[in-house]
Amino acid sequence: MGELVSYASNGGTSQGYLALPKSGSGPAVIVIQEWWGLVPHIKTLADRFADAGFVALAPDLYHGVQTTEPDQAGKLMMGLAMDQAAKDIAGAADYLAARPEVDGKIGSVGFCMGGSLALWSATLSPRIVAAVGFYPPVPWERMSPTWANYDGKIGVIHCCEADGLSGVHPGVQAAARAIADAGGKAVTYDYPGTQHAFFNDDRPEVYDAEAAKTSWARTLEVFRTHL
C-alpha cells in the first residue's frame, strides 16, 4: 500500500499517490490517470508497479476531484488546464529524481487521457526517458508537443481496435512518426477485437484479460530495458 504525498509544482504544490517497492529502491514510473481522476484503479496500478520493483507516483491532476460518471469525467477532462498538468507531471519527475529510493531513470505510463499525457510527458521533462500510452485519444492540438525532445527516448503506444489500430489511427501515426523523426524510438502494439479501456479491470464491460496481460508484460519489459 502506498501513501498520499505532496510535491513542489512550479512554485505551487501538488499531491500524488506514492508506492515503494519492497526492495526499497528501483527506477521510477509516473502513473497518469484516466479521465476519472485519481481513483482506486490508478492507485492499484501504482501498487502493481511497486510490486514489480518500481518507485511509482500517480499525480492527482484534478487536485482532489474524481468521478464515476462519464459526463462529469468528460467535463473534467475538457476543463483540465494543460499548462498546470504539464507542471504537475514535470514536478512529479523532479520529485522522484530527488527521492533516495530512486536509483534508476524515470518513465511514464498513462491510460486514455493519461495515455496522451504520458506520451506528452517525455517532451516536457528531460528526466522522463520512456513513455507508454494506453489507447490515447491524442488531442495534440491541446498540448503542442515539442517532439524534438524525444531524441534518445522511447514512446510506446498500445492501440485498441475500437479507437482504431495503429495502421489507421491518425493521431497514433502522427505521434509515432514525430518520435522517430526526433531520433527516438516509436513502438506501437495492436490489440484486435478490444474496446477502449481494455486494461481497466474495474470495468468488466470493456476489460480484456488477455490483452491486459500482454500489454502489462510489454510495458514492464520497456521499463526494465530502458530505466
Question: 59-94: per-residue pLDDT in tens?
Answer: 999 988 888 888 897 787 888 778 888 889 999 999
User: Do 134 and 102 contact (CB within 8 A), yes or no?
Assistant: no
pLDDT at residue 35 in the model? 85
Q: Is the pLDDT of residue 1 over 90?
A: no
Q: Could you give the 3-state DSSP secondary structure of residue 185?
A: strand
Residue 147: DSSP 8-state: G
Domain segments of the chain as ranges: 3-226
Mind listing the pLDDT tens digit for each residue in 12-23?
Answer: 888 999 999 999
- Rounded to whole angstroms, the Cα distance separating 140 from 183 reads 19
Residue 191 has pLDDT above 90, yes or no: yes
Find the mean pLDDT for residues 153-159: 98
Q: Which of the 8 DSSP states describes residue 18? A: E
pLDDT at residue 140 greater than cutoff 70: no
Query: What pLDDT, on the 0 to 100 scale, is given for residue 227?
Result: 97
Q: Tell me which residue has cell 459526463.
A: 71
Sign of the alpha-carbon dihedral angle for 117, 123, 124, 129: positive
Distance in angstroms (rounded) separating the CA atoms of residues 89 and 108:
9
Burial of residue 95 (CB within 10 Å: 0-12, 13-18, 19+) is buried
The CATH code of the domain at 3-226 is: 3.40.50.1820
